[in-house]
Structure 1
Amino acid sequence: MSRSASEKHEPTLARRSFLSRSAKMGVATGALAASNPVWQALATADDGKPPKRVLLRSSWQTVNIGDIAHTPGVLSILRDHLPDVEVTLWPSNVDHGVEELLRKEFPKLKIAKPRSEALKQAFRECDFLLHGSGASIVAERDLVKWREETGKPYGIYGITFPLKKSSATSARNGDAMDRSVDVLNHARFVFFRDSKSLELARSLGASAPVMEFGPDGAFACDLRDEPAADRFLAENQLEPQKFLCCIPRLRYTPYWTIKPNVKFDPIKHARNEAMKEHDHAQLREAIVQIVRKTDRKVLVCPEDRTQMAVGKEMLIDRLPKDVLSRVVWRPNYWLTGEAVSVYMKSAGLFGNEMHSPIMCIGHGIPAIVCRFEEQTSKGYMWEDIGLGDWLFDLDSETDCKRIVPTVLQMANDLDAAKAKADEARQFVEKRQRETMAVLRKELASVS
């Protein structure tokens, strides 16, 4: 069964102390053990050497709770498995209250913002640069800068490696891909969050010493805001385990509606308009079936700042009147902590997004993913972690027909769904331990 919120938090000190001792004795880090919390302090001081220092390049944007989740996820993995390592975050963006969330959850975290003196100091002092999870090698230029200015090693953790279809054969795209492969080749390790990315990288000649499947860091995101979640559920008469979450999504995120510096894209807008009914019809029917055939409610909620409007237009406004009384629409954006706390009180999640399902599975909550051709290959990670029958291609007529029955089955047999989700969670955590063992080895080799 999945772990409760308290179970997720209470073993943290025990995990840290046990894993700290294990690292020093060369013992595998796969188990949890209770131990004296003072061990962490003793472990970092017993040899008189300064701690190893990791510079985490992450935090790409804050308009999406999934992009926010990458950073606390990787930080949690580092804290649990390498507790004696000192971490500095090099973010792109930590506004809208995200910096405060990170500092509260990780009080020892150093943050070195772009072009700051703290970043210059991090370049001097840190032993290793770790590129966090993302849709690509997001900070490719920064990895090159690190390598050229410091000569120190770096690794890449939980990314998708995409090949742009529209210009894949152009000379310009070929040059860019060559540069990306060169960045992969100079990495000490690269963990891809989906096996299709790994296959693509290998086919293009990438040959880092370690190239393997490694889960998206967001699986480990454990930010919480229980008071906000409880208030929201109470205000909307949502009872724990008595509702499912549904997340809408257009083919292309209309950033021009929320970012002043992003210009309106008529081509992407036209594609969104052409496909939005097709892409939400199955979600809408699943909501209808849940309300009419089970005792559960449905919460329509966002993963990014554009999706409240999408949910209202494509789901809420088009539902039958007899269904609406048991469907809740969240009209405002939320941060990752509140979202995770709500997801953990739900019976499961379904929709057209990726990172809310990732955060659900990270806590043993069932989650169904619908994807489409405009996305990268990230959705195929569901196959990699044993949830292939919870992954649907909206461009496949056969897959579309299976969405509603699968959602209804999840709602009707929650015990089986939770067991399935928890098995995937355990596999992800196993890979997290194994990937951290690789980083530990690299840090040990740094003089």
Structure 2
Amino acid sequence: MNPALISRRQALGILGLSAASASSLFAAEKAPQRILLRSSWQTINIGDIAHTPGVLRLISEYLPETEVTLWPSKVDNGVDELLLANFPKLKIVKNKQDLATAFDECDFLLHGSGASLVAEKDVRRWSKETGKPYGIYGITFPPKKSHQTTALSDDQVASAVEVLNGAAFVFFRDSHSLAFAKEKGAQAPIMQFGPDGAFACNLRDDAKAEAFLKKHDLESGKFLCCIPRLRYTPSWVYKKSAVDPAKHARNEEMKEHDHAPLREAIIQVVKQTDMKVLVCPEDQTQMQIGKEMIVDKLPADVRERVVWRPNYWLTGEAVSVYTNSAGLFGNEMHSPIMCIGHGVPAVVCRWAEQTTKGYMWDDIGLSEWLFNMDDQASIDRLAPTVVEIAKDPAAAKRKAVAAQHRVEKIQAETMAILGRELAKT
């Protein structure tokens, strides 16, 4: 018999398959690929919340047949309900049995965006126990830190590089991290700039946002948002733990220095335009900081056009407010990321104590909106830049949208790479 001429029926006979079992075989061959997404680091910061829905949105849009199981660190404070409402097919690991099932069923582990290789131990565990591939999506790989922070030891760096080298791909959310990783010997098959997952976060809560804006007489397109931040997040406040004396001392030393430029920007916006300003938080510790260091220190006539948000919010409401604003400025990173993801102008202020994540603004063409709070010349440019956004919101919008399109192009490239790696499994 000529093998080239073998019929489908003959093939089934040789394999000992019935038509029904053949259908099952072919269906099994077309089973969707399954990703185990290691993400969701905490819920006290709307930026950390945003990482996960951002990556889930990209997967759902570019790889719609792919099934995703989330392996979170935390999805409390109603975040699990928020994720399931937006991604109803999502599975969430809640216990050891769920994790064992995920390890068995999933084809690929994707480490989500974060301040570092956050879940290094878990990636090692996945690789050791399953032998299946993994990839890293949109992380900072921090070099030696400054001031009172603990530097990464050579052993810690080498350990992380070992995990990076075992990945199918590594996307760094800023080019400084990519350069540092290469310097330290990282050589995964694919290593390139890949935007933080939060750029794609599309969670919305328009009803809450509309009620908040109406209550405070904030008209769409007629206000800017301002976010305060201390040099170090005072995590002891929400953890109810002992105060870190070195970090607290540094915060106290620099808090006036770091917020005076924001106040000056607000004063100039109020004096030179008809815009209002909303002082709002990115994490649970920032409401009081905003009141103490910004609102209470403003001149009375300026304060009349400034709204202070006294309570924390979740990502959906925040995004819905940001997209109604004319732009955002302040000492945080992920609210600006979410703004640019929606084409909303956003200014980032950074300092030495932070990782290199802020430099992603250089990578997406927004160098003019990145400010070094440790450099007086840079600080001096802040208020005029914010006023310029307030005076010509249309031009600022065009600049933001151009950056958004750069990000979206790279997101498409990263998803194509993920798709090719999944096809190999």
Deviation at 1:46, TM superposition (A): 7.9
1:356 corresponding residue in structure 2? 335
Deviation at 1:125, TM superposition (A): 0.5
Q: How does 1:208-227 map to 2 (within 5 A)?
A: 208-227=188-207
SS of the counterpart of 1:88? strand
1:181 corresponding residue in structure 2? 161
Q: How does 1:200-211 map to 2 (within 5 A)?
A: 200-211=180-191
Q: Which of the residues 145, 151, 158 maps onto 2:131? A: 151
Report the TM-score, using the length of structure 2 for normalisation.
Answer: 0.92
SS of the counterpart of 1:61? coil
1:63 corresponding residue in structure 2? 44
Q: How does 1:39-438 map to 2 (within 5 A)?
A: 49-113=30-94, 115-165=95-145, 173-260=153-240, 262-438=241-417
- Counterpart AA for 2:128: E
Deviations 1:212-236 (A, max 9, x none): 0000000000000000000000110
Deviation at 1:173, TM superposition (A): 1.1
Deviation at 1:51, TM superposition (A): 0.4
CA distance in 2, matches of 1:291, 1:171: 42
Deviation at 1:48, TM superposition (A): 5.5
Deviation at 1:171, TM superposition (A): 11
CA distance in 1, matches of 2:424, 2:238: 45
CA distance in 2, matches of 1:218, 1:171: 26
Deviation at 1:361, TM superposition (A): 0.1
CA distance in 2, matches of 1:225, 1:137: 31
The number of residues matched between the two structures is 399
Q: Is 2:38–2:111's contact at 8 Å kept on the other side of the alignment?
A: yes
CA distance in 1, matches of 2:379, 2:147: 29
- Counterpart AA for 2:104: R
Deviation at 1:165, TM superposition (A): 3.1
1:29 corresponding residue in structure 2? none
SS of the counterpart of 2:323? helix
Q: Is 1:155–1:187's contact at 8 Å kept on the other side of the alignment?
A: yes
Q: Is 2:229–2:286's contact at 8 Å kept on the other side of the alignment?
A: yes
SS of the counterpart of 1:409? helix
SS of the counterpart of 1:340? helix
- Counterpart AA for 1:327: V
CA distance in 1, matches of 2:196, 2:259: 26
CA distance in 2, matches of 1:213, 1:65: 23
Q: Is 2:113–2:139's contact at 8 Å kept on the other side of the alignment?
A: yes
Report the TM-score, using the length of structure 1 for normalisation.
Answer: 0.87
Q: Is 1:312–1:329's contact at 8 Å kept on the other side of the alignment?
A: yes
The structure whose Rg is larger is 2
Q: Is 1:167–1:173's contact at 8 Å kept on the other side of the alignment?
A: no
Deviation at 1:164, TM superposition (A): 3.0
CA distance in 1, matches of 2:146, 2:267: 38
Deviation at 1:172, TM superposition (A): 8.1
Identity over aligned pairs, percent: 66
Q: 1:307 to 1:167 in 2, by over 3 A?
A: closer
CA distance in 2, matches of 1:230, 1:293: 27
SS of the counterpart of 2:137? strand
Deviation at 1:118, TM superposition (A): 1.1
SS of the counterpart of 2:153? helix
Q: Is 2:267–2:298's contact at 8 Å kept on the other side of the alignment?
A: yes
Q: What do you get for the CA RMSD once the two structures are aligned?
A: 1.6
Deviations 1:173-193 (A, max 9, x none): 111111000000000000000
Q: Is 2:145–2:152's contact at 8 Å kept on the other side of the alignment?
A: no
CA distance in 1, matches of 2:131, 2:137: 19
Deviation at 1:163, TM superposition (A): 2.0
CA distance in 1, matches of 2:151, 2:314: 41
